[in-house]
């Protein structure tokens, strides 16, 4: 790629000073910010979009995948609180901490957004929307200021502790943290653009296997160009709405702007083909209309920031437990083929789980940085298990708890004893 010579040199206004700065308002950032603020800390949250909720909002992720053990929610207390607040916006009854197959998993993107903002504002978190991470300043191994770009130009926020909840580990990477990316071939799990159709006659829909059979026939005939092996769909609240999580874009780098742009185009091309196929070939979809389309493509995997601890497929297979475990996960290994068709699914039994140790969210080399979200210190396989929203909420809780404890003690997060973080999380209501 050709390059131009350009040097940016300007004074950047200091927009805010805070004890804890969270960057990214997805499930991890939401729970990190709320946890720290409820412990009495001064918290600012910067978000690229104009609203919180992450992929539950802009990604149109309608079903949240389950993370339960023996019927009990593993991600208390903030994850079920968020769900219940979502349900209140639809006049639905609150859910318990016990689990039934679909109870509490189907969500509204608008409910997810409003409920997240309710929790943040009530906790006293200062929200900075339309703030896109741009750069940072470091002194003596710590981040002093984080610089954002927005409609006002460049603005800086100064903080004692910084929590990277970008999902992609953008802040950590810029700060010089080591990371892994993708599988052994350098490919991440595929990206998916979710969409919903309405005016669907569900009473006339064929069984899943028959829809997939029709889809495979259409693929073979060249009417659909999508590497996914089946049609993945979920029921929605409304009687005539179906959620589709079935587009698949492979071998594209979610950290490359051109690749990401191309992925959006490919995914919408697949969406158009699916809509035509469903209307013309699948009973019940003859009058189907677009209900909603995600504002951006969903990214399953990108950077995984290396921390003081590292776990992988072995810990999944051995159901590993740790004295400083900060989250428990029952969700299966769920690797969507990074190169094409097929999905690698490996389940735990309903009464089994593994734990994520505190060190997985603590990157060495940057004294005041924590990771909250999918990009923690795990291998490619285990990442496919812990990346879904419920455990990400627990990881965010842990990051917020550690940040608040570090501020209270006047120390770096890596100086905290992980067992003490676990104890504090238990007192907060965590299921660990």
CATH, residue 331:
3.50.50.60
Do residues 78 and 174 both lie within one domain? yes
Do residues 69 and 180 both lie within one domain? yes
* pLDDT tens-place string over residues 70-92: 989 999 999 999 999 998 998 77
Do residues 100 and 211 both lie within one domain? no
* pLDDT tens-place string over residues 382-415: 999 999 999 999 999 999 999 999 999 999 999 9
pTM, two decimals, is 0.97
For residue 55, pLDDT over 90 is answered with yes
What is the pLDDT, as a whole number, of residue 8? 81
Do residues 276 and 369 both lie within one domain? no
What is the pLDDT, as a whole number, of residue 101? 53
Domain boundary among the residues 241, 261, 293 is at: 293
What is the pLDDT, as a whole number, of residue 103? 60
Task: Determine the average pLDDT of the residues in 347-369.
Answer: 97
Do residues 328 and 208 both lie within one domain? no
Q: Is 8 within a domain?
A: no
Q: Is 413 within a domain?
A: yes
For 116-269, strand residue ranges (E) read 126-128, 132-139, 142-150, 153-164, 179-181, 195-198, 233-235, 242-244
Do residues 122 and 37 both lie within one domain? yes
Do residues 98 and 218 both lie within one domain? no
Q: Is 49 within a domain?
A: yes
Q: For residues 9 and 13, give the distance between their C-alpha atoms in angstroms, rounded to a whole number.
A: 13
What is the pLDDT, as a whole number, of residue 386? 98
**CA 149-5-257 angle, 5° bins:** 50
The range of the structural domain enclosing residue 230 comes to 195-293
Q: Is 21 within a domain?
A: yes
Do residues 22 and 154 both lie within one domain? yes
Q: Are strands 354-357 and 43-46 parallel, antiparallel or unpaired?
A: unpaired
The burial of 115, by beta-carbon neighbours within 10 Å (0-12 exposed, 13-18 middle, 19 or more buried), is given as buried
Do residues 162 and 205 both lie within one domain? no
Q: Is 344 within a domain?
A: yes
* pLDDT tens-place string over residues 12-37: 999 999 999 999 999 999 999 999 99
* pLDDT tens-place string over residues 278-325: 999 999 999 999 999 999 999 999 999 999 999 999 999 999 999 999
Q: Which residues, at least 6 apart from 37, have a Cβ–Cβ distance to it below 8 Å?
A: 43, 120, 123, 124, 125, 400
Do residues 149 and 83 both lie within one domain? yes
Do residues 331 and 201 both lie within one domain? no
Query: How many domains are contained in the chain?
Result: 2
Q: Is 190 within a domain?
A: no
Domain boundary among the residues 270, 293, 316 is at: 293
């Amino acid at each position: 790629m050709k390059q131009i010579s350009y040097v940016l040199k300007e004074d950047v206004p200091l927009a805010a000073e805070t004890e804890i700065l969270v960057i990214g308002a997805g499930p991890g950032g939401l729970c990190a910010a709320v946890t720290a603020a409820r412990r009495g800390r001064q918290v600012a949250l910067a978000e690229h979009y104009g609203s919180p909720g992450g992929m539950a909002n802009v990604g149109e992720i309608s079903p949240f995948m389950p993370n339960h053990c023996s019927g009990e929610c593993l991600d208390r207390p903030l994850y079920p609180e968020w769900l219940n607040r979502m349900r209140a916006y639809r006049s639905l009854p609150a859910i318990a901490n016990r689990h039934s197959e679909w109870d509490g998993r189907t969500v509204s993107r608008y409910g997810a957004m409003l409920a997240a903002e309710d929790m943040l504002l009530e906790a006293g978190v200062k929200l900075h929307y339309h703030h896109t991470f741009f750069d940072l300043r470091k002194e003596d191994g710590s981040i002093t200021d984080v610089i954002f770009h927005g409609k006002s130009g460049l603005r800086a926020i100064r903080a004692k502790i910084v929590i990277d909840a970008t999902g992609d580990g953008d802040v950590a990477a810029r700060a010089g943290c080591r990371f892994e990316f993708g599988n052994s071939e350098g490919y991440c799990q595929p990206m998916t653009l979710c969409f919903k159709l309405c005016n669907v006659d569900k009473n006339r829909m064929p069984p899943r296997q028959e829809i997939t059979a029709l889809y495979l026939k259409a693929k073979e005939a060249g009417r659909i160009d999508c590497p996914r092996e089946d049609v993945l769909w979920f029921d929605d609240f409304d009687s005539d709405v179906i959620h589709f999580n079935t587009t698949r874009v492979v071998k594209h780098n979610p950290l490359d702007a051109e690749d990401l742009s191309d992925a959006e185009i490919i995914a919408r091309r697949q969406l158009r083909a699916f809509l035509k196929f469903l209307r013309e070939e699948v009973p019940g979809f003859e009058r189907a209309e677009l209900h909603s389309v995600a504002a951006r493509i969903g990214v399953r995997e990108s950077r995984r920031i290396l921390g003081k601890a590292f776990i992988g497929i072995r810990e999944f297979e051995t159901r590993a437990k740790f004295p400083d475990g900060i989250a428990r996960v029952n969700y299966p290994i769920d690797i969507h083929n990074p190169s094409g068709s097929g999905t690698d699914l490996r389940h735990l039994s309903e009464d089994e789980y593994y734990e994520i140790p505190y060190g997985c969210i603590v990157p060495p080399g940057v004294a005041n940085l924590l990771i909250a979200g999918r990009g923690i210190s795990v291998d490619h396989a285990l990442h496919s298990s812990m990346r879904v929203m419920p455990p990400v909420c627990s990881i965010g809780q842990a990051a917020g708890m550690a940040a608040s404890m570090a501020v209270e003690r006047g120390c770096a997060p890596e100086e905290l004893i992980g067992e003490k973080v676990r104890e504090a999380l238990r007192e907060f209501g965590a299921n660990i």
